[in-house]
Structure 1
């Protein structure tokens, strides 16, 4: 969009901005490092369309990924840097006429950082209203439900698993190395386990960089995952007074 087009959209009632966060990090031998950023790009557009009156900001593509640095190619911002980048992205939105900022992450590893800085960021951005979707465990639950219909719920592990592989098949099938699908570390992934992964590094648990199992991935599961997580984010925003 041009500057004039954005001004016209705001004047016409588009007073909400969506800021997707992501990561550039390894996703096993079969998915590109852009997985989380590609995912976040798509979710942001879907969320904006469902909310209405909403414009999408450019995805913050590099996120908080120190637990993936043992794998070549991974990039990572410090938690303080990610917070500062979010602040700088949003600092002048109110000047342009926006009243609300919605943030979510296509990379589950960003959520602990986002929860930690939410209060500080909200104070700095006032009078802009800030809504950060908090549900990393809810996302995993939605992915498990999507895989349930194929009898592959156990293959959801949260990273380069059947869910993320299916999402990439739905978005960019040419980027999935389908001849390299292999199981990874199987665990009940929740926020407590995620804390261990961040502290100890993913390679400690999974030498191939996968949590879960990508085998059985298909486009239908990917579409179901995208629809479910979009609804989770939209419902949360609406529950906060949208």
Structure 2
């Protein structure tokens, strides 16, 4: 998120994209880089967006999901560093509940950034130099999804052209996987191939390549090769 982003829009969409299904979907934003000049304002708006969606006590909200198991509730709760909690931080392991939590300022040394969180704990990191963080992200495993919030087209083009990831959104989160005309899938460790629509048909089809030869066509591509124009002989198939 750069300094030109619409912070209200970004806060709403990240709060929803990260906390829907209690963060238990593979395309949820795993962390946020936000330009330091707007970081404090964004944090305030993100906290307000979470309260607007789930109330001051999300454990009572009919719209906030539980973790799939006590084991996973404990796992995600263990990522919460009390001194970095700026919102949330509570958990009830027996009830499989982890509160929507924002950690700020986070670093790559924090537990929540050592693996995919897959839960409602969101690390937020301030940045100053866009090239520096792009270089950092490029050294990480390629992600299934990435999202950029900006009104600066040059910045958008730079990020999209610099990073390899499965798919994503500009000024939105998560919704790309609901559009069946867009191929969905990962790169490298985040997945191989794409599906949905024609991409899915192609991915799940076995394309059989056949060359049908003319039974009466003379074709000399065999040794000895001295003096032979092999390319010309093969041009009959082009």
With normalisation by structure 2, the TM-score equals 0.29
Higher relative contact order (CA 8 A, sep 6+): 1
Higher normalized helix content (fraction of residues) = 1
Larger Rg: 2
